Amino acid sequence: MKTRKAFDRIRENISKYGVGAVLHDLECRLANQWVQFQVLKGMTVQLQDVTDPGFFEAPGFDARFVGEDELARFAHDGTHDISLDFLRKARARGDRCYALFDGEALAAYGWYSDLPTPIDEHFVLHFDRAWTYMYKGYTAPAYRGKRLHAVGMCRALRAIAGEGKKGLISWVFSNNFASMHSVMRMGYRVFGDVYLLRTAGGRSFTYATHGCREYGFWVESLDTALGVGSKKQMSLP
């Protein structure tokens, strides 16, 4: 059954994204049998990049930046990918959440940061502070397929541009073709790649391609900051 599902996924991806994309996905999956290997596609979006005015509209939803206290009640239900620990850490960095509510129901949200931000428990992302980093987008299952993720980002983009920022900066895993297609359709433009490698022995390696330099976009190991293990940072050329 698992083999059949895998072949079905491969056929679907070939039809949607092409043979090259599927081969890249297989390469990533194979590498991750032995090490943690990821490629991040760095990207930005500015107001003028959004060509569909509908992405700024949220009819029927209350769309706004929301405080930690209001989000805390959703951390207890286990259905919104939010924890009290995450809320505490996000508040300490000064991160903001832009959310869409359907009445009292939390339909979708995304987080926005102006400071270096953890990608996971091992790596932290740095970027030019002329941009605002968008991360951790989530749409509740009942609201998926309504473009709420894109709508939330575009409305947040309009707000942060009004504060003087250039736009949003973000990333997508190189083999997450559905997300890549979605954000490119919204208006995001890819500027470079960051390669992350973490061995079974706990050593971390990162490399940012030339295109990342203009955006100050690079990744370091959190383990090094904590004095755990070792890390090799390949500098931008």
Which tens digit of pLDDT belongs to each residue from 108-147? Answer: 999 999 999 999 989 999 999 999 999 999 999 999 999 9
Q: What pLDDT, on the 0 to 100 scale, is given for residue 129?
A: 97
Closest Cα partner for 176 from 30, 13, 49?
13
| d(C-alpha 217, C-alpha 234), whole Å | 13
Is the backbone of residue 164 left (phi > 0), alpha (psi -120 to 50) or beta? Answer: left
| d(C-alpha 145, C-alpha 161), whole Å | 27
Check if the beta carbon of residue 97 is closer than 8 Å to that of residue 170.
Answer: no
- Give Cβ neighbours of residue 139 (< 8 Å, ≥ 6 apart): 107, 108, 146, 148, 149
Q: What pLDDT, on the 0 to 100 scale, is given for residue 109?
A: 97
Q: What is the pTM of this model?
A: 0.84
| d(C-alpha 194, C-alpha 173), whole Å | 10
Helix (H) / strand (E) element for 185: namely helix 177-186
Q: What percentage of residues in the chain have a pLDDT greater than 70? A: 79
Q: Position of tokens 């050593």?
A: 203
| d(C-alpha 120, C-alpha 97), whole Å | 18
| d(C-alpha 55, C-alpha 57), whole Å | 6
Task: Please say if the pLDDT value at position 16 is more than 70.
Answer: no
Domain chopping of the chain, boundaries? 1-34, 35-234
Average pLDDT over residues 181-208: 92
Helix (H) / strand (E) element for 123: namely strand 123-126
Return the CATH superfamily for domain 35-234.
Gcn5-related N-acetyltransferase (GNAT) (3.40.630.30)
44-77 pLDDT tens trace: 999 999 989 999 999 999 999 998 889 998 987 7
Task: Please say if the pLDDT value at position 229 is more than 80.
Answer: no
| d(C-alpha 118, C-alpha 87), whole Å | 13
Average pLDDT over residues 195-200: 89
Helix (H) / strand (E) element for 150: namely helix 148-162
Check if the beta carbon of residue 188 is closer than 8 Å to that of residue 171.
Answer: no
Average pLDDT over residues 197-201: 86
